[in-house]
Chain A
Amino acid sequence: MLKINKLYTSIKNKKILKNINLNIKNNEIHILMGPNGSGKSTLSYTITRKPYYNIIKGDIIFNKKKINKLSSDKISKLGIFLSFQNPIEIEGITMLNFLKNLKKNIKYKKILKYSKLLKINLDNLHRFFNLGFSGGEKKKNEILQLLILKPKLIILDEIDSGLDIDTIKIIFNILNYYFLNNKCSILIITHNTNIINYINPNLVHILNKGKIIFSGKKKIINYIEKYGYKFFNKKRICI
Chain B
Amino acid sequence: MYLINSKIKIYKNFDINIIIFNNYLKSIYNNKKIKIKIINKNKYLYIYIKNINNKYINIKLLLNFYYFNIVTFLNKYIIKLKIDKKINLLLIEKYNLYGYNLLFNYNIIKLIVKRKSYIKYLKNINKEISLMNKIYIYQKESRIDIYDINIKNLNSNNFIFIKNYSNNCINNIYGIYILNKYQFLKNKIIYFNKFNNCKNNQKFISILNDYTKVILKGIININKNTRNNISYQNYKNYILSNNVYINIKPYLNIYSNNIKCTHGVNMGKIDNNIIYYLLSRGLNILKSKLLYYYSILYENIKDKNILYLIKNKIKKKIKECLIVKK
Contact = CB atoms under 8 A, between A and B. Distances in A.
Contacts of B280: 48, 72-73, 75-76, 81-82
A84 B298 contact: no
Contacts of B285: 71, 73
A118 to B, nearest CB: 17
Interface in A73-89: 73, 75-77, 81-82, 84, 87-88
B281 A76 contact: yes
A72 B292 contact: no
A152 to B, nearest CB: 13
A91 interface: yes
A77 B294 contact: no
B272 A51 contact: yes
A213 interface: no
B78 to A, nearest CB: 37
A93 interface: yes
Contacts of B322: none
A139 to B, nearest CB: 14
Contacts of A72: 276, 279-280
B282 A73 contact: yes
B283 interface: yes
A15 B281 CA distance: 27
Given A84-B277, A88-B273, A90-B274, A73 B284 contact: yes
A75 B285 CA distance: 13
Contacts of B291: 93, 98, 101
A145 B274 contact: no
Nearest to B288: A73
A149 interface: yes
A35 B196 CA distance: 57
A102 B281 contact: yes
A110 interface: no
A77 B287 CA distance: 14
A129 B296 CA distance: 12
A73 B297 contact: no
SS of B interface (majority): helix
A76 B276 CA distance: 11
Interface residues of A, number: 24
B295 interface: yes
Given A51-B272, A73-B285, A92 B294 contact: yes
A137 to B, nearest CB: 17
Contact of A149 (B281, B287, B292, B296): B281
A162 B273 CA distance: 22
Nearest to A87: B277
B277 A93 contact: no
A73 B279 contact: yes
Interface residues of B, number: 22
Contacts of A102: 281-283
Contacts of A75: 280
A217 interface: no
Interface string B234-251: 000000000000000000
Interface in B250-304: 272-274, 276-277, 279-285, 287-288, 291-292, 294-299
A145 B281 contact: yes
Nearest to B282: A76
Residue in A72, A87, A93, A145 with the greatest tally of chain B CB atoms within 10 Å: A72
A149 B299 contact: no
Contacts of A145: 281
A101 B283 contact: yes
A239 B311 CA distance: 63
A66 interface: no
A88 B277 contact: yes
Contacts of B272: 51
A65 to B, nearest CB: 16
Interface in A83-119: 84, 87-88, 90-93, 98, 101-102
Contact of A93 (B276, B279, B281, B295): B295
Given A48-B280, A73-B283, A149-B281, A88 B295 contact: no
Nearest to B301: A92
A73 B280 CA distance: 5
Contacts of A219: none
A87 B288 CA distance: 16
Contact of A76 (B273, B279, B292, B294): B279
Contact of A90 (B276, B284, B287, B292): B292
Contacts of A129: 295
A50 interface: yes
Interface of B: 272-274, 276-277, 279-285, 287-288, 291-292, 294-299
12 contacts: A50-B276, A71-B285, A73-B280, A73-B285, A76-B281, A87-B277, A90-B295, A91-B296, A92-B294, A92-B296, A102-B281, A102-B283
The 6 closest A-B pairs by CB, nearest first: A92-B295, A72-B279, A92-B299, A76-B282, A93-B295, A92-B298
Interface of A: 48, 50-51, 71-73, 75-77, 81-82, 84, 87-88, 90-93, 98, 101-102, 129, 145, 149
Given A73-B288, A129-B295, 4 more contacts: A71-B285, A73-B279, A76-B279, A102-B283
